Structure 1
Amino acid sequence: MSFYDLSKTQRSQLVTAIHGHILTDIQKGGYKKTLAYFADDDTYIRKSAYLAIGRIYIQHAPLITGTLNLLQQLFPHSNFKVRQTVINAAGEIGKKDFTLVEPFFDTGLFDAHHSPRNAVIGSVKKMGEVNPIPVLSWAKKYLHHPDKEIRREICHGIELRGRKHPADILPLLQELQFDTTARVRHTLVHVIGQIAYKKDCLATVIAHLKTWDNKQLVTDAVTEIIDVHDRYKDFAVLTQAEAIAYIDKHL
């Protein structure tokens, strides 16, 4: 029976049980029950497990070392679901203290399976939103990595921070303006569009784009910004016409 086949009360009881079992594993220095949750086929069981790690980290300061040891023991596991869940758990800790879990992301970014790599990007998004300084500093190390997929994933990973604070990520995006790989360029243009339609963001993005040297890239980005204001018209602060008028006046 899957997580959402259970009643609301049963789900709450299961979440409490998962938390208790993982806490006991950490206290005893084992990982048998935690491994079962981390390897579960049900996404929501695994999510409950990694969220439990985050809560234990916050609520039980003396167990921080034990919590990290647990994750380190499970990280080399052959099951990609386990590695994926370890990274997501590290992301919960990284919201508060990225330095504790940075090695998990240095390794996970190069995992042979796409699911752990996607977990890295998802975690970078959630960590970068609330703990941007160390996370963006880490991301910057990989902006010019020889592997085009690494560059693309990092570009994608910093997007969420930019939706509310575009000024924080625009200097990093600028470093990719002359990337010749189509997938990286496409992601870069996409991210610029995504950080330009919320309140006060368009002015910040346009002002920064004026300093970029790759004018063709800027043109492509502006086209995407205009299109986004139509695609997301129910969420954009400006109408598409207002966005066009602003761009015409300031760029």
Structure 2
Amino acid sequence: MGFYDLNKQERANLVCRIKEEILRDLIHSGMDEIIHYCSDEDTYIRKSAYLSIGKLYIEKVELRPAIIACLKQLAEHDNFKVRQTAINAAGEIGKQDFEIVESFFSNGLFDHHHSPRNAVIGSVKKMGEVNPEPVLNWAKKYLHHENKEIRREICHGIELRGRTHPEDILPLLKELQYDTTARVRNTLVHVIGQIAYKKGCLQTVITHLNTWENKALVTDALEEIIDVHHRYRNFSALTQDQARQYIEEHCQ
């Protein structure tokens, strides 16, 4: 039976049980229940497991070394779901202590399975939103990696911070303006659009784009920004016409 086949109370009870059993494993240096939940077919069971590990890291300071040691074992597991869950758990920890889990993301970027790599992107998003400085400093190291997928994943991963603080990620995005790989370029244009439609963000984005040299890329980005203001019209600070007018008046 899947997580959402249960009623609300049953789900709450299951979440409590998962946390209790993970705690018991950590206290007694066990792995059976942790691996059981981290490898579950149901993504919401795995989510409950990594959220529980993150909460235990905060609540049980004395268990932090055991938690990190456990995650290191999980990150090398044969099952990609276990590795994915380990990275997601590291992402919860990285919201406050990035340095101690940095290696999980550096290694996860190169996992042979896409699920752990996607977990890196998701973790960078959630960590970068609340703990941006060390996360963005880490991301900078991979902006010009020889592997195009690494560059694309980093570009995608820093997006969420940019939705509220575009000024934090625009210098990083600028470094990708001459990337000739279509998937990287398309992701870059997408991210620029995504960080431009919230209140006060369009002005910051346009000011920065005026400093970019690749005018063909900028043109594509401006078209995406205008289109985003229509696609996200229920959430945009400006209407599409207002965004278009602002761009016409302020783009150099």
TM above 0.5: yes
Counterpart position of 2:80: 80
TM normalised by structure 2 equals 0.99
1:103-161 CA distance string (max 9 Å, x none): 00011000000000000000000000000000000001000000000000100000000
- Equivalent residue letter for 2:215: K
Letter in 2 for 1:248: E
CA distance in 1, matches of 2:224, 2:74: 42
Q: Which amino acid aligns with 1:226?
A: I
Give the whole-Å Cα distance in 2 for the aligned partners of 1:249 and 1:41: 53
TM-score (norm 1): 0.99
Distance 1:127 1:214 in 2: 30
Letter in 2 for 1:97: D
Aligned equivalent of 1:56: 56
Rounded to whole Å, the distance in 1 between the matches of 2:26 and 2:100 is 17
Which segment drifts farther, 167-176 or 21-30? Answer: 21-30
Q: Is 2:180 the partner of 1:180? A: yes
User: Is the 1:30–1:70 contact (alpha carbons within 8 Å) kept by the matching residues of 2?
Assistant: no
Matches within 5 A, 1:193-204: 193-204=193-204
Aligned to 1:47: 47
Q: Which residue of 2 aligns with 1:244?
A: 244
CA distance in 2, matches of 1:30, 1:104: 21
Q: Give structure 1 stretches of 5+ with no counterpart.
A: none
Distance 1:113 1:158 in 2: 21
Q: CA deviation at 1:10?
A: 1.1
How far residue 182 of structure 1 moved from its aligned partner, in angstroms, is 0.6
Match of 1:154 in 2: 154
Q: Which runs of 5+ in 2 are unaligned?
A: none
Paired residue total: 251
Structure 2 CA distance, aligned partners of 1:159 and 1:180? 20
What residue is the counterpart of 2:3 in the other structure?
A: 3
The answer (yes or no) to whether the contact 1:124–1:158 under 8 Å persists in 2 is yes
Measure the CA separation in 2 of the matches of 1:211 and 1:6: 53
After the TM superposition, which residues 112-191 of structure 1 pair with which residues of structure 2 at under 5 Å, given as runs?
112-191=112-191
SS of structure 2 residue aligned to 1:145: coil
Secondary structure in 1 matching 2:103? helix
Determine what percentage of the aligned residue pairs are the same residue: 68
Give the equivalent residue in structure 2 for 1:92.
92
Distance 1:11 1:232 in 2: 33
Please name the residue that 2:67 is paired with: 67
Any idea what the Cα deviations from partners look like across 1:54-75, whole Å, max 9, x if unmatched? 1101111111101101111111
Rounded to whole Å, the distance in 2 between the matches of 1:46 and 1:61 is 23
Q: Which amino acid aligns with 1:22?
A: I
* Aligned-residue CA RMSD (Å): 0.6
Amino acid across the alignment from 2:16: T
Alignment partner, residue 230 of structure 2 = 230
In structure 2, distance between residues paired with 1:187 and 1:33: 39
CA distance in 2, matches of 1:234, 1:66: 46
**Counterpart residue number, 1:217:** 217
Which ranges of 4 or more aligned residues in structure 1 deviate by more than 2 Å?
A: none
In the aligned structure 2, how far is the partner of 1:5 from the partner of 1:223?
Answer: 43
Report the Cα offset of residue 214 of structure 1: 0.5
Query: Per the alignment, in what secondary structure is the counterpart of residue 199 of structure 2?
Result: coil
Give a deviation string over 1:14-53, Cα, whole Å, max 9, x none.
1111000111111111211100000000111100000000
One-letter amino acid of the counterpart of residue 113, structure 1: H
